[in-house]
Amino acid sequence: MLIYEEDELYIEVHESEIPWLKIFTKKPYKELGDMPKELRLRLWEVYDIVEFEMKRYFNPKKINMASFANMLPRVHIHVMARFEEDSYFPNPMWGEKLREGNVKLKDQELFYKELFEVLNRDFSKKKEL
């Protein structure tokens, strides 16, 4: 599910028991170093906003960030809010499942709306400069 889009980036929801978003570049750059510097900087600005808003809204134990791109060889960043009660914690979400998760989350749809508003404000300011 797409929750945000701007000129060169977009954000999708990864279906999971935890809040998990993926930030993609629209052009299929293979490596971060292949991207124009301005786009790399924008990617990290968007990541910072997503991480901050996840921490504020969900109050997780930890935020995980990953960018393997072995199966999908293009730049994308996974941002995951982790909880001690999730099925895999403290292992990575791609690791061994340790238990049945029991994560109690706030309304994720409301989070997506709030994140969309924050990102739109930020992007609008960037375009004005």
pLDDT digits (tens, 9 = 90+) for 13-64: 999 999 999 999 999 999 999 999 999 999 999 999 999 999 999 999 999 9
Instruction: Give the architecture-level CATH label for domain 2-122.
Output: 2-Layer Sandwich (3.30)
Q: How confident is the prediction for the chain on average, in pLDDT?
A: 93
The answer to whether 82 and 94 are in contact (CB under 8 A) is no
Q: Is the pLDDT of residue 129 over 70?
A: no
Stretch 83-104: mean pLDDT: 95
Model confidence, pTM:
0.92
Residue 107 has pLDDT above 60, yes or no: yes
Q: What per-residue confidence (pLDDT) applies to 57?
A: 98
Summarize the confidence of residues 93-115 as an average pLDDT. Answer: 95
